[in-house]
Structure 1
Amino acid sequence: MTIYLAMDDTDNLDSRGTGKLARAAASAIAKEYPVKGVTRHQLFVHEDIPFTSHNSCGVIHIEASGNDAKEWIFETAKEVMLDDFIDGSDPGIAVAGREDIKEPLISFGRDAQRVVLNQEKARTLAKNLGIRLEGLGGTEDGVIGTMAGLGLACTLNDGRYLMLGKIREMTGPAEVSTLLDAGIDVVYTMDGRRVNDGLIIIAEGKSAKPCPVDGRAVLFVEEIDGEYHAVKRG
């Protein structure tokens, strides 16, 4: 079983991003429950939506089940967020088991990628589905992206991994076999060719950014002058 912990709008222009905070929360949660990964999900960029730089949310995927686990995970992540609260941010946080995430929430997540939504709809949806959702400061507009993140993450077909296996421990160019050992399931070119061996060019100091596709972690690459270059998507 999987429990998802989502967070959004946790930063300002001068602070660390939501992804970094999500990874910090994941590390705290991993002390009690196995963490499968952290994903980033891109939301709608529009002049009517306040956001820091890219309007994305972060979701932690945890191997756990039951209300006690959800409560512990929520409180642990909430403590991490409040300890690192940034003035000017409007954070939201939510937790849900896979069984709690119904079609209306998945649709809400998709809508959040193309239209402007509001807090009322997010809070009403959380109440009707029995999902614990809280705003932790500022305008609390982060509750919108937080609920969207739950709906998007559970599809296992959106966004990209910020943390998965040991991929963050490796930076720069790497062999396909090394990437597979680190947690990536498969490497494909953008035009559909599977890459089974060879060197993948990743910028120095950067790690690979695989995407969830039908539940697998897929690293996309493009071939340039006979070399495979990792592509960042989502």
Structure 2
Amino acid sequence: MILIGIDDTDVEGSKGTNQLAKAIVSELANEWKCERIVRHQLLQDKRIPCTSRNGCASILLNARGSSEADEEQLILLIHQVREVMKKWFIKGSDPGLCVCPYENVSDSIVKFGYRCQFEVVTQADALAVADEAQVHLEGLGGSNGGLIGALAAVGLGHRGNDGRVIQIGEWSEDLVGCQTISAIQSRGVKVNNINTDEWLSDGLVELNKKLRPNLRGNEIVLYVQKQERQQNESISQEPTYQAIKLP
């Protein structure tokens, strides 16, 4: 498996890093299967340039027809992702890219990702960690500041206990509004009542716009809370829950 991290790829009014991550997955689909795309929240601080909320994205891929990518495949993959990001480059953005075999993500990279959620770090910090761990990290324009978040995304994605899942596998964005828990589970998502820590197997969930579960304990989990019944609702009606948006 391969982890890709991208960050600071957009400007105000552009499509954003999540959409770029999906475009990368689409471009690589013939050779690489998407396992998940996850948005990770980094520190929000006036000293850190960002478009809106300082998020980055990790992409977990598996080589089709092979359990492990060789060095040649990895070099080609880096080239392909770089080319997609160059096509999407917008003046004013500062994109960064990190690519690393999943099993090569070091503890230092995971710790760096955690630091980026609580501390202001520098490009020099990121480059030093990447150099020690011998992973591919580069800036692709502007100030190259996105390389910080790109490395952080790889660390947080490997940690498997952080972020909001933007895409699972090759799913479509067709689950919106009110959905059954069984329909949600069919996408590989577990449903948890955040107030009782109960795993749910039946009922209805109001998703609002889109299904956006979280990555927790290397599992995809949608957290929900029980909705209050209206006075005119039947007591025999199926339990209804509201999806909770967590970072």
**TM-score with structure 2 length normalisation?**
0.90
Q: Indicate yes or no: 2:96 matched with 1:92.
A: yes
CA distance in 1 between partners of 2:172 and 2:117 (Å) = 27
CA distance in 2 between partners of 1:154 and 1:175 (Å) = 30
Is the Cα contact below 8 Å between 1:45 and 1:55 reproduced in 2? yes
Higher gyration radius (CA): 2
1:110 corresponding residue in structure 2:
114
Structure 1 position 167, deviation (Å): 5.6
The code of the aligned residue for 2:201 comes to N
1:220 corresponding residue in structure 2:
223
**Which aligned runs of 4 or more in structure 1 are off by greater than 6 angstroms?**
none
Aligned length: 230
CA distance in 2 between partners of 1:104 and 1:84 (Å) = 30
Structure 1 position 170, deviation (Å): 1.9
2:232 corresponding residue in structure 1:
none
Moved more, 58-67 or 41-50: 58-67
C-alpha deviations, 1:165-191, integer Å up to 9, x for none? Answer: 42623222111111111231x100112
Structure 1 residues 114-129: aligned runs within 5 Å: 114-129=118-133
Residue 45 of structure 1 aligns to a residue whose secondary structure is coil
C-alpha deviations, 1:76-96, integer Å up to 9, x for none? Answer: 211111011111000000100
Structure 1 position 70, deviation (Å): 2.2
CA distance in 2 between partners of 1:142 and 1:211 (Å) = 23
Structure 1 position 230, deviation (Å): 0.8
1:43 corresponding residue in structure 2:
42
Is the Cα contact below 8 Å between 1:187 and 1:196 reproduced in 2? yes
1:209 corresponding residue in structure 2:
212
C-alpha deviations, 1:88-110, integer Å up to 9, x for none? Answer: 00000010012221111111000
CA distance in 2 between partners of 1:87 and 1:39 (Å) = 25
Structure 1 residues 159-170: aligned runs within 5 Å: 159-165=163-169, 166=171, 168-170=173-175
Structure 1 position 207, deviation (Å): 1.5
CA distance in 2 between partners of 1:131 and 1:91 (Å) = 17
Structure 1 position 210, deviation (Å): 1.1
CA distance in 1 between partners of 2:39 and 2:72 (Å) = 26
Structure 1 position 202, deviation (Å): 1.3
Residue 153 of structure 2 aligns to a residue whose secondary structure is helix
2:244 corresponding residue in structure 1:
231
Structure 1 residues 175-194: aligned runs within 5 Å: 175-184=180-189, 186-191=190-195, 192-194=197-199
Is the Cα contact below 8 Å between 1:57 and 1:146 reproduced in 2? yes
Residue 199 of structure 2 aligns to a residue whose secondary structure is coil
Alignment match of 1:83 (pick from 87, 92, 112): 87
2:57 corresponding residue in structure 1:
58
2:234 corresponding residue in structure 1:
none
- Unpaired stretches in structure 1, ≥5 consecutive residues: none
Moved more, 114-123 or 75-84: 75-84
CA distance in 2 between partners of 1:168 and 1:155 (Å) = 26
The code of the aligned residue for 2:127 comes to R
Residue 148 of structure 2 aligns to a residue whose secondary structure is helix
CA RMSD of aligned residues (A): 1.2
1:28 corresponding residue in structure 2:
27
Percent of residue pairs bearing the same amino acid type? 33
Is the Cα contact below 8 Å between 1:10 and 1:17 reproduced in 2? yes
Alignment match of 2:155 (pick from 151, 155, 158): 151
Moved more, 172-181 or 105-114: 172-181
